[in-house]
Amino acid sequence: MTSTSDPDQSANRGYYDAFAKNYEAERGARSRGGYHDLIDELEAEFVRRFATGKDVLEVGCGTGLVLRRIAEFARSARGVDLSPKMLELARERQLDVQVGSATELPFADASFDVSCSFKVLAHVQQIERALAEMVRVVRPGGHVLAEFYNPWSLRALAKRLGPPGKIAEGVHEGQVFTRYDSPRTVEQLIPSGCRLVASRGVRIAIPSALVMRVPVLNSAFRFAERRLCDTTLGRFGGFWIAALEVPLKTPR
């Protein structure tokens, strides 16, 4: 996502509008027990740790696959996304969503207890502004859960070695801005006053999503991911989630 003043916003919206048609071809009900299902589980479970019975915003909610899980334990669960086409599917799930940008969230200050974002910040050039916005809409003492693409991972290696994946007719992954931020880099991006209180690595051991289609490997990698996600080896996950605590008083 990008700001309304960002020239890349239209390109990002077009990319994800095109992606919406095939986005759930291997996700949602079709991925039950598979790779994408596991990733969504691990992300939503991390949110549960901070957001049970609380008001939650997911930034870049897409079709609502993670947001629907959050809605099961949150007091309220709302979502925002740049792509109207993605949100059409989220609304079919009866989720509370609206169009908006990660760098200019359409919500008042201190509207939520938790803001979270998965697989989105990696496509935001103005990353500091997006993080500042996620902090702004959270109440003092609340939490921001921000997921980054990690260059120190098997996933990043596979992306570097392989061709860009096709996401729609005539559209591929190389056509959207993508950044990789290591855990060490992320620590330099933390907004002033916020404190890193926890983290989780996702897709630490899985070399390829394809291995999850083999039942015996599926079970083995599920076990491994769950055992490793909250250990120091989590810093090598393809997706690294930082949990930031918002200060009780905003620094001047």
Structure tokens at 204: 């630490």
Residue 30: per-residue pLDDT:
63
Per-residue pLDDT at 145: 98
Q: What span, in angstroms and rounded, lies between the C-alpha atoms of 63 and 88?
A: 7
For tokens 């096709």, the residue is: 166
Tokens (6 digits) for 72: 């099961």
Residue 208 tokens, joined: 């390829």
Q: What is the pTM of this model?
A: 0.93
Share of the chain above pLDDT 70, in %: 94
CA dist., res. 136 & res. 124, Å (int) = 17
Neighbours of 62 (CB within 10 A): 27
- Contact assessment for residue 61 and residue 97, using Cβ atoms and an 8 Å cutoff: yes
Average pLDDT over residues 231-248: 97
pLDDT in tens, 166-215: 888 888 899 899 999 999 999 999 999 999 999 999 999 999 999 999 99
**Rounded CA Rg of the chain:** 17
Which pLDDT score, from 0 to 100, does residue 21 have? 84
What structural domains and CATH numbers belong to the chain? 9-245 (3.40.50.150)
pLDDT in the model for residue 168: 82
Report DSSP state, residue 101.
B
Task: Tell me what the pLDDT averaged over the chain comes to.
Answer: 92
DSSP assignment string, 18-53: HHHTTTTSSSGGGGTTSHHHHHHHHHHHHHHHHHTT
Q: Which pLDDT tens digit goes with each residue over 4-43?
A: 445 557 778 888 888 888 888 778 666 678 999 999 999 9
pLDDT given for residue 2 in this prediction? 34
DSSP category for residue 250 = -
* Band (56; pLDDT cuts 50, 70, 90): very high
The token pair that represents 62 in the structure block = 């897409």
Tell me how crowded residue 136 is: count the other CB atoms within 10 A of its CB: 18
Please give the average per-residue pLDDT across 128-137, as a whole number: 98
Pairing of strands 112-117, 138-149: parallel
Antiparallel, parallel or unpaired: β 55-59 and 76-81: parallel
Position 6 scores a pLDDT of 55
| Amino acid symbol at 63 | T
If you average pLDDT over residues 137-160, what whole number do you get? 97
